Structure 1
């Protein structure tokens, strides 16, 4: 079991309020990802869950048991950090088993757990190597293996892929998703990379300035953002957010339209714009236009050729636009 309940968690450093009343429930076996810009409080919240930081107020419950005063080692958690934190003088085997050895586990049990974890992570051929003899991706797998052997109630990941190059990030992301399916464990994962969030999470928690903006599945957040912040944060390229007054529309402060929900023509359309840049990505073409109401991003599927400084007309899909009020909240209906 590994359910988690966070009740009105607040965390201040001196006069700075970092977490401003966080309430959240995570079900046993869920993969939940915290996302948000730098300084939003996502890593601080993870550290409070882990017990590495004390909450200023509020409660943390793991499997229904309050753990506010429980030390990290007794919370039934295992944490994987951005830095691998491996002992350079120890082999992969000894790095993975050190925590169990310190806990007084029998050698046969340690060997068995290491064997299971190394098979899951394809580390069997590297158990006698030292960290310096491994690639970055292999080192991160060792750090994950060290967490697996502890058989925790909760896995906590703090931006574990940010030190890897793009190809390794994709491969390790797939491995983490596979591990979640195999272990059926509860995982809490912090990242600033929305692609990781969209592809891994059962549930995404979007944080902004120490508060939760919205919680939902990846596609719920993508298709039904409840605030301007979530609308602009989820999606790549990000949603176009346009001052409604510049479009002559009343009853809203901001109009949102995703780049893929706009069509372009060289001859006619709702908005006239000048091409300022084109990105050819193979599967997609991203066009950046300058219009009377500001910049506009258009995403077209496939390869399209348009000249910089050329004129294009853009037409939004009227059924796929979003309207937000003066407080940045979605206007429904």
Structure 2
């Protein structure tokens, strides 16, 4: 399919620097996800790759070809938008085949590719319908099908699931994962949802304020965050951060420990604490605590546990799961 290289890519709007020098290498067939908070530059970076925004400076190479001056239609990419962007007056079949028709592809080739894509997405019985006759999930599958029929070098997804309800998001996420395996395609995907990132990506790019904070596999980011920002962004509930001075640690400024790496007991433990709120979720129990020794922190327990607000408990962090950060917020290895 296609590879992508970004070198020193920058984007400014007037005096505002939105993308501040991005270097990134995406290998052929990889599923790469850009994550970060709102305003971090992830969608702008995707639009720059697509050619919908011009880079202020830097190099963009797709499959070995520099494309900074190449228009979007000639970059060999296909983009799936959050808003579906379907033509309401066209049928599903015509929406999916429109790009090929406009490119002058033979009718039999269009028929063949639409049939293949609709089969992959279970859309065969909807081909004669118009978008208004479809559910949100079906419309998004049509938008994905329209991208598939183009057989692009790169698939670009801009928060494609954010308009769907929770159940549809899960189902469509599974479909996208299956498509990636079947197509062996290179996919770049933008989301603010870390669950999507952790479950879909081969490689995650964590962005903040137009700068890459870390690149790695989901488990690399979870187990070995490069800094406080990544440690706090990846994982739900977020990592607990404790002033290292409270724990007598001299080699760090901040100690981090994930909620799932702390155990609770009513009898004994390292930190005495009082429960201030408890969330009983069935599969998990989330306990929010206050401690004189370490301040506020959160514990995630697997399964149902009968803690209640005002319970006095003892918390013990797993010693081998503590993360240490220096005064600049960088991880100490």
Fold conserved between structures, TM > 0.5: yes
Whole-angstrom CA distance in 2 between matches of 1:308 and 1:322: 28
1:245 offset after TM fit, Å?
2.1
Corresponding residue for residue 262 of structure 1: 262
Whole-angstrom CA distance in 2 between matches of 1:330 and 1:299: 23
Corresponding residue for residue 322 of structure 1: 323
Corresponding residue for residue 231 of structure 2: 231
Unaligned runs of 5+ in 1: none
Corresponding residue for residue 297 of structure 1: 298
1:301 offset after TM fit, Å?
1.0
1:29-79 per-position Cα deviation (integer Å, ceiling 9, x unaligned): 000000011111100100000000010110000011100000000000000
1:110 offset after TM fit, Å?
0.6
Corresponding residue for residue 20 of structure 2: 20
> Map of 1:5-84 to 2, 5 A cutoff?
5-84=5-84
Corresponding residue for residue 283 of structure 2: 283
Whole-angstrom CA distance in 2 between matches of 1:20 and 1:146: 33
Whole-angstrom CA distance in 2 between matches of 1:276 and 1:133: 48
3-state secondary structure, aligned to 1:163: coil
Unaligned runs of 5+ in 2: none
Higher mean C-alpha displacement, 43-52 vs 240-249: 240-249
- RMSD over aligned CA atoms reads 0.8
Corresponding residue for residue 244 of structure 2: 244
Corresponding residue for residue 307 of structure 2: 306
1:248 offset after TM fit, Å?
3.1
3-state secondary structure, aligned to 2:145: helix
Does structure 1 residue 160 correspond to structure 2 residue 170? no
3-state secondary structure, aligned to 1:22: strand
3-state secondary structure, aligned to 1:256: strand
1:249 offset after TM fit, Å?
2.3
Whole-angstrom CA distance in 2 between matches of 1:330 and 1:70: 40
1:204 offset after TM fit, Å?
0.4
Corresponding residue for residue 100 of structure 1: 100
Corresponding residue for residue 208 of structure 1: 208
> Map of 1:95-244 to 2, 5 A cutoff?
95-244=95-244
1:278 offset after TM fit, Å?
1.0
TM-score, structure 2 normalization: 0.98
Whole-angstrom CA distance in 2 between matches of 1:291 and 1:11: 45
Whole-angstrom CA distance in 1 between matches of 2:251 and 2:218: 29
Whole-angstrom CA distance in 2 between matches of 1:117 and 1:294: 54
1:143 offset after TM fit, Å?
0.3
Higher mean C-alpha displacement, 227-236 vs 238-247: 238-247
1:226 offset after TM fit, Å?
1.1
1:236-263 per-position Cα deviation (integer Å, ceiling 9, x unaligned): 1111111212333222111000111101
